[in-house]
Structure 1
Amino acid sequence: MKIGTTRLVFLLLVSCATIWFMTWHYRGTVIYDAKRPMYSHGYVQYSTVHKSVKQDIRCVGAGPDEAEDLFCMEKPQYLPNFKNPCWYAKEDGKFRLKCLPYYHLLGVCKSGTTDLSYRILAHEDVLGCNDCWKKKEIFYWCRRRYGYTVDMEGVRTPCNFSCFLQKFTTAAQKIEQEVTESGYHNMITGDASPSDFSDFRGWPKIPQNAGLQEPVVTTPHLIRHVYTDPKFILILRNPTDRLYSDYTMRHGQTPEDFHEAVRDDIRIEDACMRNHSVEQCLYSVELARKLRTRIFLGCYSVYMRQWLNVFPRDQFLILRTEDHDKDPTAQLKSVYNYLKLNYTEEWLASITRVPHQNASEKKKRMGPMLEKTRVLLDAFYSRYNHDLADMLQDKMFLWLS
């Protein structure tokens, strides 16, 4: 009896010590989702603070109706004598140069991305992509890898990672051919798909998200696995003005139609957020199809937090459309400096004199937004603007003037 008691005490002490060790050893390391089934595909290390975090995501392989599992792919070994992220891979018995974009112009749509992309591509050291939408957009990260069409209205064969790389085959050939006297390949290419910043609606097709109510893996995690040091350019516009421009481009008729659409969409979003998380509502394909506008794209802080939870702040050049309109020369100079592109003041002046690209004539015909609509939208976006300004430590993103 005495031996049994001693053994019981010993087992209790071992159990307590084990619990103590596990609690303190893993404290703050991995956050597990309690809703995730025990047979889940994997776990992700993440944080709710605005800083880059180390990834701990397992390769699980894609199941039926799931996108290619990029975590099963080893990160490419980038060549040190190339400015652009490139590497050699064996293909059809030969080694061929493969290249990813040096920069991503993330967004957002109707904020001047077409104009900015044009002025970046005008530089002699910057190359475009093959068969891109509007000569700049691929939609791989946000839609095509999930099998969605550009407008999210249909389904097509998913574009895998090899398919994405094919968009840069011509650029890769040019990058390989052009070399400085020191043996350095100085040319770069880029991807200007603004939807990549905010369109996470394909998240249920990411294998690591199987069985979840909201994602633990999104586009930033995928890009982080593939890249070593990506460069992101983000141009943001007052979300109220952005939405009106977006609506007129897509199917707008009159300011009165826009007001009715905004009023209905705010009701739908508010109703969703009373019962679900903000992420569940903003990342939902089904909910987006009920909306008459793309009001969800202006909730910038929700998407920005996802990116800053994976990448450090200094990997983003964050601009404002309003500043681009006021002083395009200064803004383009900051972009060229960020991309480490050489230029002369004469060249800079010449490219900024080119008329604005993709200006909307339809918006001019419709006339200005109704003041009552602006009041509605400003109130809806206010919390997100304040969150963004706090996140970026810049009151300019309040768009108060």
Structure 2
Amino acid sequence: MASRRTCLHMVTYLNPREVDNESEKHGMRCVGGGAHMAEDLFCMDRPKYLPNFKNPCWYAKENGKIRLKCVPYYHILGVAKSGTTDLAYRIRAHEDVLECNDCLRGKETFYWCRRRYGYNVNMESMTQCNFICFQEKFAKAAQQIEETTTETGYHNMITGDATPSDFSDFRGWPKIPQNAGFEKPVIMTPHLMRHVYTDPKFILILRNPTDRLYSDYIMLGGRSAADFHKAVSGDIRIEENCMKNHTVEQCLYSLDIAQRLQTRIFLGCYSVFMREWLKVFPREQFLILRTEDHDQDQKAQLAKVFNYLNLNYTEESMTSIANVPHKRVSKKKILKGHMLEKTRALLDNFYSRYKKDLADILQDKRFLWLT
């Protein structure tokens, strides 16, 4: 049984002049910010995380006081309309998991994909959120983490971020200082996270990209299956025309191209984004699930998640969490009707190369979504 008490620990300070060895190995150095650019995270040293905290936390001086600061222990990276809200809710149902404050549905900060660049959900300009702003999203969790210990004095509670756009929305890359002047990015979200975290835990839940896109389209206000077919036909032409003269990556990461699309078709090209993450992080730092398996056997999938996050559970508690009704089940798609078969064939053909590539990367044929 955990006891609640405030403990005193040695204060650790950050040295902004030091460059993290791992970051230096990847060729990432501080170059400073600039007008209209995002904060240069490589100009700060990685926090000195405290060993008696399970969650990555550290003490820092703020306004003359010493405060505990924390960043997420885990990230549900993606992808949208694949069950991320439901999965995040079930993880937070565990007694040792805390939500972030001032976040969408208690789970999404949008920091890594958009807010640090000064974009809102529609990629319109807004006030940038710097790293201190990101930390504040976990201020309430940090306080509870600090006050809660096991009998040995270990702080076992954790918090997380479940922003599904983090996996594949790299459209803010031109605002990363190290990318200034380049036609394609050399630094992206995985590199930035690698500089901040020592041992991050990433969770992906992936859905058949064809089905995912239709759900996404309906959620964002799509009118009908017939209109969806027209939108998809046009978007495939835009992407394929772009790819005739540019790399796949340039077309999928382009804000200009994305603003011309009627759907978020690029989000389903999972293998392209997965390769970017695996250039920076080893495969074992990712737990990769399928929506279809999550829907079919939630207890088995939750057991994988809790084991990956090193969360204790009983058969009774697992059953209770698994039996909670699904969150964010869309009723709009029922009203709009099924996707047209000709649209499904069009999308299956477009996504086929990316599904095959993903199955090869993960060495798992289930990600071909043949059944």
**Following the alignment from structure 2 to structure 1, what is the Cα–Cα distance between the partners of residues 100 and 177?**
28
Q: Match for 1:92 among 39, 44, 63?
A: 63
**Following the alignment from structure 1 to structure 2, what is the Cα–Cα distance between the partners of residues 399 and 391?**
15
The match for 2:12 is none
**Following the alignment from structure 2 to structure 1, what is the Cα–Cα distance between the partners of residues 118 and 306?**
34
The match for 2:359 is 389
The match for 1:161 is 131
The match for 1:256 is 226
Question: What 5-or-longer segments of structure 2 have no aligned partner?
Answer: 1-20
The match for 2:5 is none
Q: Trace 1:63-142 onto structure 2 (pairs within 5 A).
A: 63-142=34-113
**Following the alignment from structure 2 to structure 1, what is the Cα–Cα distance between the partners of residues 346 and 270?**
17
Q: Which amino acid aligns with 1:75?
A: R
**Following the alignment from structure 1 to structure 2, what is the Cα–Cα distance between the partners of residues 306 and 226?**
17
Q: Match for 2:260 among 290, 294, 300?
A: 290
> 1:62 and 2:33 equivalent?
yes
Point out 4+ residue stretches in structure 1 off by more than 4 angstroms. Answer: none
Identity of aligned pairs, percent? 72
Deviation at 1:151, TM superposition (A): 2.5
**Following the alignment from structure 2 to structure 1, what is the Cα–Cα distance between the partners of residues 55 and 25?**
24
Q: Trace 1:204-243 onto structure 2 (pairs within 5 A).
A: 204-243=174-213
Pairwise CA RMSD of aligned residues? 1.4
Deviation at 1:54, TM superposition (A): 4.1
The match for 1:280 is 250
Q: Match for 1:315 among 285, 290, 295?
A: 285
Q: TM-score with structure 1 length normalisation?
A: 0.86
**Following the alignment from structure 1 to structure 2, what is the Cα–Cα distance between the partners of residues 151 and 323?**
31
**Following the alignment from structure 1 to structure 2, what is the Cα–Cα distance between the partners of residues 316 and 272?**
31
2:260 match: secondary structure: coil
Q: Which amino acid aligns with 2:53?
A: F
Kept in 2: contact 1:54–1:310 (CA 8 A): no
Q: TM-score with structure 2 length normalisation?
A: 0.93
Deviation at 1:56, TM superposition (A): 2.2
The match for 1:270 is 240
1:123 match: secondary structure: coil
**Following the alignment from structure 2 to structure 1, what is the Cα–Cα distance between the partners of residues 287 and 97?**
18
Provide Cα deviations, 1:65-124, integer angstroms capped at 9, x if missing partner: 110000000010000000000000001111110000000000100000000000000110
Kept in 2: contact 1:105–1:193 (CA 8 A): yes
Q: Match for 1:361 among 322, 331, 350?
A: 331
The match for 2:300 is 330
**Following the alignment from structure 2 to structure 1, what is the Cα–Cα distance between the partners of residues 348 and 173?**
29
1:289 match: secondary structure: helix
1:106 match: secondary structure: strand
Deviation at 1:243, TM superposition (A): 0.1
**Following the alignment from structure 1 to structure 2, what is the Cα–Cα distance between the partners of residues 367 and 329?**
30
1:120 match: secondary structure: helix
Deviation at 1:286, TM superposition (A): 1.0
Q: Which amino acid aligns with 1:81?
A: N
Deviation at 1:53, TM superposition (A): 11
2:149 match: secondary structure: coil
1:109 match: secondary structure: coil
